[in-house]
Amino acid sequence: MSESLLSSRNLAFELYEVLDAEALTQRERFAEHSRETFDAAIDTARSIAENLFAPHNRKNDEHEPEYVDGAAVLIPEVKPAVDAFLEAGFLNATREFDAGGMQLPNLLSQACFAHFQSANAATTSYPFLTMGAANLIEAFGSEEHKQRFLQPMIEGRFFGTMALTEPHAGSSLSDIRTRAEPAGDGTYRLKGNKIFISGGDHPLSENIVHMVLAKLPDAPPGVKGISLFIVPKFLVGDDGSLGQRNDVVLAGLFHKMGWRGTTSTALNFGDNGECVGYLVGKPHAGLSYMFQMMNEARIGVGMGAVMLGYAGYLYSLDYARQRPQGRQPDGKDPSSPQVAIVEHADVRRMLLTQKAYVEGAFDLGLYAARLFDDTQTLATEDERRIALELLDLLTPIVKSWPSEFCLKANELAIQILGGHGYTRDYPVEQYYRDNRLNPIHEGTHGIQSLDLLGRKVSMNGGAALKQLVKLIQGTCQQAGEYESLNALRQPLEQLLARLSSVTLALLGDLMSGKVNQALANSALYLKVFGHMVIGWRWLEQAIKAEQGLAAGNPADADFYKGKLQAARYFLTWEVPSCHHDLAILEARDDTCLGMQDAWF
Amino acid sequence: MSESLLSSRNLAFELYEVLDAEALTQRERFAEHSRETFDAAIDTARSIAENLFAPHNRKNDEHEPEYVDGAAVLIPEVKPAVDAFLEAGFLNATREFDAGGMQLPNLLSQACFAHFQSANAATTSYPFLTMGAANLIEAFGSEEHKQRFLQPMIEGRFFGTMALTEPHAGSSLSDIRTRAEPAGDGTYRLKGNKIFISGGDHPLSENIVHMVLAKLPDAPPGVKGISLFIVPKFLVGDDGSLGQRNDVVLAGLFHKMGWRGTTSTALNFGDNGECVGYLVGKPHAGLSYMFQMMNEARIGVGMGAVMLGYAGYLYSLDYARQRPQGRQPDGKDPSSPQVAIVEHADVRRMLLTQKAYVEGAFDLGLYAARLFDDTQTLATEDERRIALELLDLLTPIVKSWPSEFCLKANELAIQILGGHGYTRDYPVEQYYRDNRLNPIHEGTHGIQSLDLLGRKVSMNGGAALKQLVKLIQGTCQQAGEYESLNALRQPLEQLLARLSSVTLALLGDLMSGKVNQALANSALYLKVFGHMVIGWRWLEQAIKAEQGLAAGNPADADFYKGKLQAARYFLTWEVPSCHHDLAILEARDDTCLGMQDAWF
């Protein structure tokens, strides 16, 4: 097996042919970087992922964390892997040199992270959660918070979590009940229960910093009454020394279908009334802070889904090339040798579908990461705002599309391996189980669809949507210069035109108060929008493939032809399938909305 | 929770309103039966399934069979459950009274079995495998075989297996290597290795009778050189007494993603050259015998997939009714109480989709069982032949459609439960894992698609297909009598017309030798054909619902309205989605066929 985590040829194609990573080095922030430093970071990531993350992926699954004496115990392989990740500097990959970081573009950090996500989703979660919590404190915490909590996180001594969900209010954050009372000394005392807190306990770090959503006594009802608190597992003295255990208790562990290596915890805050918390930023502004970090978190989930899909694709491809079985339909002579199953048309279909899903979503994830860099490093505020709007619009797709379609890729990988794929002797069934989490956490599929149609497409007068339409039209126009791409361009143009008019109609309904009706079929809207975006990214890839074929060396021809065939698959097999969904949306079909509880 | 295995109202609808089970009692074979005896059998099945099968379904999963001293050890709850199944007579539900059976129609036995399949797929496998093996011996074995092996199976003392698959030849049976040498005394000595043999070892019965495919020394190559043998775990004396262990060794157990309670074994036959086997029927005719039992086996797999889907649907429906969370899009006042999630349009979509998939496939499975009865009990040979042809045609759909779409239903059930659905504290994740086996075993999805397009639609000059078309047209015509069903009838008629012409075109290609091209996209053909069949079954259900609404008591109105809404969902949301697949088939699209190994 040549490469098991991702295709480095494809990664290079994305970075240097599609997304022009080298252009980033002309921006001041990345001026000390070059293709060489980028590639060095990627090599380091691949090496650590292959040598320390991948080898215990199955063991993580077979020996999930155990609850022993009030603490979560992990298998011993996790810590050395995470330590190597920290020592190589990946926790601070994008942080400035001065702050101990590598000052890499987000595009490059995502490219590095992809290797870990492919190798071992569960172990990767611990540093990822820490990055998310650290970023929150960096963006909204006080200087004291940064000194006391952020700095040890940057140093890898403290890890972090996000503590949002409560037992009675999963997606409905406005209904959380955790309370925070002022203690009179500037700190707060929290009381409440949280569930599904990933990384809520483990022995990987000196301390764990929980970022907790809770309500102050004077909180207005709903989401505008939610505040954000830092709640450490161990109290931290003014000199940074670790004090006594805070009143945070590990109430239990959840046992999941997959992603088993990551502790999923129930945490009780303040059972004894002594849970110390620190308010981050202003009162009642907690959810808005969370939302400002949401793009990063959701891109992370999306890329996680992509990489599980990618790992399954590569494994099943390798298997299909090695495994002889049966003969072609027109060559049934039983005395002829069996052919490798990659020769069967239906196996090719399953491989090509996986390739189209995985590499399409991989491109989109990296495109979003590149856009994230734009939001921070484009020259003018106006340009940065425009980039952010586009990123805001695309985020529900970046999160949800891979969660759905790269899971489907994992299903196909199992099918290619047949009975073997269904056994735990092969890795593909674990990828499938691990990936099933992604449509649920960090905003379910349904939440993403409401976010897209109910908020994102109309924000700022539809500015981001207009910008996206312009970008897609530009790609279509460019594709028109290639005779070979006409048949691929047309389905995308047709979808774009029809989706644009459906969008206008639905927004009209929303504005005229028919809210429930307009949002009733938002799941279909999300699917079609996602297919349009992935179709666009495939057309971009196809253009670059044509350019590569024209300019490249003959050794690369197969690679580019594969890109063109996958683009053809996605744009002619998948994209046109959306017209039926659009017809349902156009008709304001109320089949689901009109279904009554009593009729089930 | 009212009912967890299946809706008994829906079962009664199927049996007595849609499929007219009572009419069967007018046939001689079933003359001693009545609706009362049918319902009594169903009540017994439900009671045993609820009380003895369902309670250890999770434990089966958590404590999979262990390999101890060369044998498979199961949890203790399996045997009492299986024993109750045997004692109630279900193993011989369809066998004649004289042979110790209940002489039930196949339709009724499937209706009974459905409860066990829903309650505990793994434990149910043991008696099911035994029924399959017993039926083979009954149909093709000698009198001596019946005396020595079948009779103890009927009595529940011996269990059975089907031993087909070998390590190097999964779906490609023509390549099996297991050999059988005549021993000179009328018996044979077998040598070879088999894998994925379900129920290949267990402590549930005195003996296990393996039905083994192997090749005789003079076998012609390929599938026409395969013979069928009885190979018992313990030799059986002329007086029926158990003798010494035969030379069959449990080489190991497979550890699966789901369906864990059923031992999946690797068996070595004849490691010591002393594996005694008995030839069933004629030499080299083994595969044709197997294929004659295939309809039953594949209907069984299909119904198994349905019932896992059904169990998940009912669980997620109950959860959605109990679980308050969030508010309607147009009612965001956070001080208002949360609504049950069944009130959310997208949750209704996920429930309605499950209902449409599960109840559509349930109807088809029972329809096929009814057809099976017709193949045995219609008055004339001609009528029986016609029924058998139709059943042959429908079998790939009965097997594959639920395997794909009821698995999808399980995916939706998890989504409705959100984070909880992903934990092993709730049953839906197990249903999803269990159901993932069904597209693989008993002929993969790809095999089913080749069987349908490459064999079934053209057999006997397309007689069965013509008959199916006539039946569908008849249903459409009848639906035309109901104003309300016009909008449901039309999509089905359109699909039927277009699929018919695509079929003719593809058969033309096959006949003109373009075999690989014609079969390249058989997976799409299978999907479209399946949707047409399920759409037809939903239109049938809709007609019966209209009749029920007109004639029924008001208490039933909700039930019938639910049927009409699910029919509307399937016929207007799902059926028209097939036109894009048909366009690909019409174009003889070669995107997948033309993909090259080197391009991946």
| CA gyration radius, chain A | 25
User: Which ranges constitute the DSSP H helices of A250-331?
Assistant: 286-292, 294-322
Q: Is the pTM of this model over 0.90?
A: yes
Which residue among B442, B540, B546, B574 is the active-site one?
B442
Per-residue pLDDT tens over the stretch A412-442: 999 999 999 999 999 999 999 999 999 999 9
Which residues lie closer than 8 Å to A135 by C-beta, 6 or more apart?
A293, A296
Give B80: exposed, middle or buried? Use CB within 10 Å, 0-12, 13-18, 19+: exposed
Measured between CA atoms, the residue of chain A closest to residue B320 is A597
Per-residue model confidence (pLDDT) at position B169: 79
Q: Are A345 and B425 within 8 A, CB to CB?
A: no
Rounded to whole angstroms, how far apart are CA atoms B432 and B305?
A: 10
CB of A211 closer than 8 Å to CB of A202: no
Active-site choice (A442, A540, A546, A574): A442
CA dihedral B338, B344, B348, B351 (to 10 degrees): -50
Instruction: Read off the pLDDT of residues A290-311 as tens digits, 9 standing for 90 and up.
Output: 988 888 889 999 999 999 999 9
Nearest C-alpha of chain B: how many angstroms from A344? Answer: 8
Tokens representing B317?
């429906």
Q: What is the DSSP letter of A241?
A: -
Cβ pair B440:A422 closer than 8 A: yes
Nearest CA in chain B to A316: B600
Residues in B touching A580 (Cβ below 8 Å): 576-577, 579-580
Q: Tell me which chain B residue has its CA closest to the CA of residue A61.
A: B257
Helix axes A294-322, A428-435, angle to 10 degrees: 160
- Map residue A120 onto helix, strand or coil: coil
Contact B334 A174 (CB under 8 A): yes
CB A303 within 8 A of CB A402: yes
For residue A256, the cross-strand partners are B423
pLDDT of residue A295: 84
Report the distance separating Cα B454 and Cα A430, nearest Å. Answer: 34
Residue from the list A325, A421, A591 with its beta carbon closest to the beta carbon of B169? A325
Distance from CA of B124 to the nearest CA of A (A): 19
pLDDT < 70 stretches in chain B: 1
Question: How does strand B248-253 pair with strand B264-269?
Answer: antiparallel
Task: Reduce the secondary structure of B501-515 to three states and give it as a string.
Answer: HHHHHHHHHHHCCCH
C-beta of residue A556 within 8 angstroms of C-beta of residue A548:
yes
d(CA A351, CA A560): 16
Angle at B61 between CA B58 and CA B64, to 5 degrees: 140
Q: Residue A84, CB half-sphere, CA atoms under 13 Å: how many?
A: 17
Residue of A422, A506, A593 to mutate, testing the B interface (most B Cβ within 10 Å of its Cβ): A422
Can you list the positions of beta strands (E) in B378-507? none
Torsion region of A181: left, alpha or beta (phi above 0 gives left; psi -120 to 50 gives alpha): beta
Contact B334, A222 (CB under 8 A): yes
Nearest to B437 among A422, A521, A600 (CB): A422
DSSP 3-state of B581: helix
Taking CB atoms and an 8 Å limit, are B444 and A418 in contact across chains? yes
Q: What is the structure's pLDDT at A334?
A: 84
Q: Where would I find the beta strands (DSSP E) of A421-476?
A: none
DSSP-assigned beta bridge partners for residue A433: none
- In sequence order, what are the residues at sequence separation of 6 or more whose Cβ sits closer than 8 angstroms to the Cβ of residue B79? B203, B204
**Would you state the structure tokens that stand for residue B374, as one six-digit string?**
């017709």
CA distances from B544 to B365, B538, B564 (A): 17, 10, 10
**What is the gyration radius of the CA atoms in chain B, in angstroms?**
25
* Cβ pair B414:A422 closer than 8 A: no
CA distance B144 to chain A (A): 34
Cα–Cα distance measured from residue B507 to residue B49, given in angstroms and rounded to the nearest whole number: 45
The partner residues of B242 in beta bridges, in order of sequence, read: B236
Cα–Cα dist B260/B250, whole Å: 17
CB-nearest to B196 from A411, A414, A419 is A419
Contact check, Cβ <8 Å, A561/B596: yes
A129: tokens are 């959660």
Cα A447 from chain centre: 15
CB pair distance less than 8 Å for A418 and B523: no
Q: Looking at residue A169, what is its pLDDT?
A: 79
A-B C-beta contacts closer than 8 Å: 278
Best CA proximity match to B539, nearest among B480, B600, B499: B480
pLDDT for the residue numbered A280: 98
Q: Which two tokens stand for residue B334?
A: 């956070």
Distance from CA of B30 to the nearest CA of A (A): 34
Q: What is the pLDDT of residues A511-524, one digit of tens each?
A: 999 999 999 999 99
Contacts of A424 in chain B (CB under 8 A): 255-257
From chain B, the residues in CB contact with A526 under 8 A are none
What is the pLDDT, as a whole number, of residue B554?
85
Q: Do A558 and B436 touch (CB under 8 A)?
A: no
Could you confirm whether B442 is annotated as catalytic? yes
C-alpha B345/C-alpha B351 separation (Å) is 10
Closest in B171, B419, B450 to A196, CB measured: B419
Helix axes B557-568, B345-377, angle to 10 degrees: 90
Half-sphere exposure of residue A242: CA atoms within 13 angstroms, side-chain side = 13
**Beta carbons of A573 and B593 less than 8 Å apart:** no
Which residue, among A269, A247, A242, A263, has the nearest Cα to A200 in the 3D structure?
Answer: A263
Measured CA to CA, the distance from residue A204 to residue A156 in angstroms comes to: 10
What is the CA angle B87-B302-B461, rounded to 5? 120
pLDDT at B312: 98
> Which residues of chain A does B321 touch, with a Cβ-Cβ cutoff of 8 Å?
597
Report which residue type is found at B159. F
Please indicate whether, in this complex, the C-beta atoms of B600 and A562 are within 8 angstroms of each other: yes
d(CA B249, CA A377): 68
DSSP B36-97: HHHHHHHHHHHHHIIIIIGGGHHHHHHS--EEETTEEE--TTHHHHHHHHHHTTGGGSSS-G
Beta pairing class for B207-214 and B158-163:
parallel
Closest CB to A600 among B168, B325, B355: B355
Residues of B in Cβ contact (< 8 Å) with A490: none
Are B330 and A515 in contact, with CB atoms under 8 Å apart?
yes
pLDDT of amino acid A330:
83
Mutate which: A176, A263, A338, A599, vs B, most B CBs within 10 A: A599
Chain A partners within 8 Å of B258 (Cβ): 422
| Cα torsion angle, B190, B196, B197, B203, sign | positive
Contact flag B172-A338 (C-beta cutoff 8 Å): yes
ipTM, two decimals, is: 0.97
All residue ranges of chain A with pLDDT < 50 are 1
Q: Which residues of B touch A515 (CB under 8 A)?
A: 329-330
- List Cβ<8 Å contacts ≥24 apart for B76-83: B77/B52, B77/B123, B78/B123, B78/B126, B78/B202, B78/B204, B78/B261, B79/B203, B79/B204, B80/B52, B81/B48, B81/B52, B81/B53, B81/B56, B81/B120, B81/B123, B82/B123, B82/B126, B82/B127, B82/B204, B83/B156
Q: Do A172 and B439 touch (CB under 8 A)?
A: no
- pLDDT, residue A554, reads 85
